[in-house]
């Protein structure tokens, strides 16, 4: 067991200004507001401008988190960016953000890809690195410009995703029992083909033909992913509660990955926790992958849904198929 505890010192988020409504989407593909709302709970999503890269979304979220923590970029010696849409395949999005924010060169900066579970994975990584005593202050960002990898002709996926960013500043805590109490991460590698970008990697580099077929975009087997999402998130939530001897009804707020309102409702029913204890903003942002949990966490804090002493459960699921949970005492 680590002797040091880690705490969230501040959070921030940012969503691009452009709102894409279901009504507007239904002029682009054969869909309707009614279909999207009843199947997913999504009403609108944000779309980054063509010249806005993931780092441009991550920077304002990070600035807000630093301001909330009362710190400056000079205080950060560890930057982890969870994303599947870095500005470029190489170098890491973290390096662009480091440069734009002016984080010192002695800071460790890298990206982490655990898809929609990325923020929970990055949080766990940052906390372990802080607990090692080798780092003092971490900035963890979940950011996505999913509009850049969505197939805008595929109605089964393009209606679900959006762009955004969320960030958290993490430091070492002084009060025992307050901060990140634990995490439970997992991965179901058998499911790699259920949610993926088939081309553009080392297995099958993009060709003119594959690009014409839009195989560099997200492909998903929605029904299978839905079932596994519910199963894995329920397991991740139950396991961590059991590990810490905590009953579900002791959790003040669950911040689930915002993929689909029906998935969140299923978890609420499995855990026998009412929907009022779940933070939901999927209606306004759609699924923003690694950005979804930190964006929701920041909105929850800023709207007074989290108070000192509360227990919050983060629970995530994404391509991989990765999943994970984190338990935080404020």
Which helix (H) or strand (E) segment is 66 a member of? helix 54-69
Let me know: does 158 contact 29? Beta carbons within 8 Å: yes
The pairing of strands 78-82 and 137-145 is parallel
Residue 25 or 107 having the CB closest to ligand COA: 25
Q: Which of 158, 216, 257, 260 is catalytic?
A: 257
Residue 16 or 41 having the CB closest to ligand COA: 41
Let me know: does 216 contact 152? Beta carbons within 8 Å: no
Q: Which of 116, 127, 158, 232 is catalytic?
A: 116
In the complex, residue closest to ligand COA by CB: 222
Determine whether 287 is an active site residue. Answer: yes
Q: What is the CA radius of gyration of the chain?
A: 19
Minimum CB–partner distance for residue 311 and ligand COA (Å): 24
Residue 114 or 251 having the CB closest to ligand COA: 114
Q: Which of 22, 113, 281, 287 is catalytic?
A: 287
Buried b (16+ CB within 10 A) or exposed e, 110-144: ebbbbbbbbbbbbbbbbbebbbeeebebbbbbbbb
Minimum CB–partner distance for residue 260 and ligand COA (Å): 4
Q: CA–CA separation, 108 vs 114, rounded Å? A: 19
Residue 155 or 238 having the CB closest to ligand COA: 155
Minimum CB–partner distance for residue 172 and ligand COA (Å): 32
Q: CA–CA separation, 298 vs 218, rounded Å? A: 27
Minimum CB–partner distance for residue 302 and ligand COA (Å): 24
Residue 150 or 241 having the CB closest to ligand COA: 150
Minimum CB–partner distance for residue 118 and ligand COA (Å): 11
Cis check for the bond before 321: say yes or no (omega within 30 of 0): yes
User: Taking the alpha carbons of 277, 42, 166, 180 in that order, is the dihedral positive or negative?
Assistant: positive
For ligand COA, the binding residues (CB under 6 A) are 31, 35, 39-40, 116, 155-156, 159, 220, 222-223, 225-226, 229, 259-260, 263, 287, 317-318
CA 172 to chain centre: 22
Block residue for tokens 């950011």: 143
Determine whether 113 is an active site residue. Answer: no
Determine whether 216 is an active site residue. Answer: no
Block residue for tokens 């393009």: 158
Q: Looking at the annotation, which residues are catalytic?
A: 116, 257, 287
């Amino acid at each position: 067991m680590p002797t040091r505890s880690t705490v969230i010192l501040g959070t921030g988020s940012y969503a691009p200004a452009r709102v894409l409504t279901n009504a507007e989407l239904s002029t682009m593909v054969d869909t309707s507001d009614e279909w999207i709302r009843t199947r997913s709970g999504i009403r609108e999503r944000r779309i980054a401008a063509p010249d806005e890269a993931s780092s441009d979304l991550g920077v304002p979220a990070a600035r807000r988190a630093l301001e909330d923590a009362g710190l400056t970029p000079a205080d950060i010696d560890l930057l982890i960016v969870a994303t599947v849409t870095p500005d470029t395949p190489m170098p890491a999005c973290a390096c662009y953000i480091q440069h734009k924010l002016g984080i010192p060169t002695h800071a460790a900066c890298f990206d982490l890809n655990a898809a929609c579970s990325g923020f929970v994975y990055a949080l766990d990584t940052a906390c372990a690195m802080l607990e090692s005593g080798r780092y003092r202050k971490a900035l963890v960002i979940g950011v996505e410009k999913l509009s850049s990898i969505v197939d805008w002709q595929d109605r089964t996926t393009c209606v679900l995703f959006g762009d955004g960013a969320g960030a958290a500043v993490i430091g070492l805590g002084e009060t025992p029992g307050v901060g990140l109490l634990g995490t439970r991460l997992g991965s179901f590698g058998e499911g790699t083909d259920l949610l993926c970008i088939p081309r553009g990697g080392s297995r099958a580099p993009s060709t003119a033909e594959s690009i014409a077929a839009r195989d560099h975009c997200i492909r998903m087997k929605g029904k299978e992913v839905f079932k596994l999402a519910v199963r894995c998130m329920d397991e991740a939530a139950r396991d961590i509660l059991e590990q810490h001897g905590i009953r579900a009804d002791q959790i003040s707020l669950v911040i689930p990955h915002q993929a689909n309102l029906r998935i969140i409702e299923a978890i609420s029913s499995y855990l026998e926790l009412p929907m009022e204890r779940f933070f939901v903003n999927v209606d306004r942002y759609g699924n923003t992958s690694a950005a979804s949990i930190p964006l929701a966490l920041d909105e929850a804090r800023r709207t007074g849904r989290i108070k000192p002493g509360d227990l919050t459960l983060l629970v995530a699921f994404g391509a991989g198929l990765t999943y994970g949970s984190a338990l935080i005492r404020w």
